[in-house]
Amino acid sequence: MSAAAPASLRVIDLIRKKRDGIALSAGEIAFLVDGAVDGSIAPEQLSAWLMAAWIRGLTREETCSLTLAMRDSGEKFDSSRLGKIAVDKHSTGGVGDKTSFLVAPLAAACGLAVPMISGRALGHTGGTLDKLESIPGYRTSLSLAEFETVLDRCGASIVSQTQSLVPADRILYALRDRTATVESPGLIGASILSKKLAEDLDALVLDVKTGSGSFLRKAEDAEDLAALMVAAAESAGTRTVALMTDMSQPLGRAAGNWIEIIEAVELLRGLRPPESEDLRELSLILAGWMIHLGGIAVTPEAGYALAEAALADGSALAIFFKMVDAQGGDASVFDDTAGFHAPGATQVLESWQSGYIAEMDTTAIGLAVQRLGAGRAEPGQAIDPHAGILFDARRGAHIEKGQPIATLYATGSALFAEPVAMLRQAIHISATRPDPVPLVSRVFTLESAENHLREKSF
């Protein structure tokens, strides 16, 4: 039991309290988390509390208490033995979001340690671990001791959560998934941060997605989540910023698994395909903030310049290959990336009319990627590492009827009909050029997060 949890509490009183809109104390939240982990609180009572929390919302203090109680619910990583500042980046998830493969080696090349514990594809969003596992031999499931060895050798390591790390989140997330209580800024914030703070980070950069492919579709909810996470992480002693970034179209040109790895490696090699410019820019901005918060650069702009230098001199690429090798991956597949790409079938989607690509329903595009076999609808489903979509045109581009918009990959041609129909619905072509959407619309530092939470009475 955590030290903060009084023993004389009754779950029913805590459900009633939250139901009636009264905030719980740190001790009361710790009692719920302890009871979830040791099985002393029944799932129906936890579910009732989660629903009350979803409807009433969590205050800033409750979010902080839940984050800390969940962080402390199991094993934790000790970054102090690395002898370096430990920094990570977390994204709330999207389509084609492969910045981790760039920012981890970029920050490591600038002298930081990046202990990154990542997730799998679920629903419309892709998963960092599935993408890495498309590299033959790459092991994402390492013990904390192996994780530390890779970090010592390479400066960066990207792995999956262990069974014993933050067990409270595994239990509560599974209940939220079954009780329609996922989409709550306080619950999401505590869930994400508990796992990140169990990495023992000195600094954290949060990439909170907005737009048609984001998890929280209302910009206001996404901003509340960003501000809550910054305040909660800072109060736990981790320097944190959150960037609100665009997910109104897939990030970069590839959405899938192996094809996303290829796109990231092309950029690490210094190539600059025009359709990947947004990915390159966002990765440098995020890495710039990591390098700044990690104390290596005095401003995020100076951090950006250091990250760009690490891209230009090949040091970040060398770290990426070293990490792949250290985690059992066969880095020789990068000698001929196109040759290794072996989809069962390929289909080009041509434009059905001339005009500008005006809007993209990125959630629907993510679901089309999943239906091609690159993602999963249910946890545990098998995925096809070579499936996915490569976009030939991005939002704002002018295209002629018959011109390729995208190339689809799957294990067999029978899998194309549904995703093609979904893409035709998801991509809107218009006679007028759409207004550009900024890649980064807002940055929450501790000060602006505090102001936001005060204004919103959190």
Binding site for ligand URA (CB under 6 A): 173, 182, 188, 191-192
Residue 418 burial (CB count, 10 A): 13
The DSSP bridge partners found for residue 82 are none
The torsion angle over the Cα atoms of residues 181, 43, 233 and 68, rounded to 10 degrees, is 160
Chain centre to alpha carbon of residue 324: 20
User: What is the largest distance, in Å, between two alpha-carbon atoms of the chain?
Assistant: 70
Q: What is the DSSP string of 34-98?
A: HHHHHT-S-HHHHHHHHHHHHHH---HHHHHHHHHHHHTTSB---GGGG-S-BEEEEE---SS--
CB nearer to ligand URA: pick between 213 and 288:
213
176 is catalytic: yes
Residues 18, 71, 84, 90: which is the catalytic one?
Answer: 90
Residues 195, 239, 322, 386: which is the catalytic one?
Answer: 195
- Exposed, middle or buried, 145 (CB in 10 Å: 0-12/13-18/19+)? exposed
Residues 157, 160, 191, 283: which is the catalytic one?
Answer: 191
Cα–Cα distance measured from residue 221 to residue 452, given in angstroms and rounded to the nearest whole number: 12
How near is the Cβ of 219 to ligand URA at its closest, in Å?
A: 17
CB nearer to ligand URA: pick between 192 and 453:
192
71 is catalytic: no
Cα–Cα distance measured from residue 286 to residue 305, given in angstroms and rounded to the nearest whole number: 12
88 is catalytic: no
Structural tokens at position 300: 């995020």
195 is catalytic: yes
How near is the Cβ of 122 to ligand URA at its closest, in Å?
A: 9
The DSSP bridge partners found for residue 89 are 205
What are the residues whose beta carbons fall under 8 Å from the beta carbon of 212, sequence distance 6 or more? 247, 248, 249, 359, 360, 361, 362, 363
Instruction: List the one residue out of 441, 438, 369 whose CA is nearest residue 409.
Output: 369
Residue nearest to ligand URA (CB): 191
Cα–Cα distance measured from residue 162 to residue 173, given in angstroms and rounded to the nearest whole number: 15
Residues 56, 71, 176, 280: which is the catalytic one?
Answer: 176
Cα–Cα distance measured from residue 53 to residue 28, given in angstroms and rounded to the nearest whole number: 13
How near is the Cβ of 160 to ligand URA at its closest, in Å?
A: 13
Residue type, 143: S
CB nearer to ligand URA: pick between 15 and 187:
187
Residues 97, 169, 202, 278: which is the catalytic one?
Answer: 169
How near is the Cβ of 173 to ligand URA at its closest, in Å?
A: 6
Cα–Cα distance measured from residue 170 to residue 29, given in angstroms and rounded to the nearest whole number: 17
Q: Are 59 and 333 in contact (CB under 8 A)?
A: no
239 is catalytic: no
Cα–Cα distance measured from residue 178 to residue 168, given in angstroms and rounded to the nearest whole number: 16
How near is the Cβ of 388 to ligand URA at its closest, in Å?
A: 22
How near is the Cβ of 346 to ligand URA at its closest, in Å?
A: 32
How near is the Cβ of 366 to ligand URA at its closest, in Å?
A: 14
Active site residues: 90, 169, 176, 191, 195
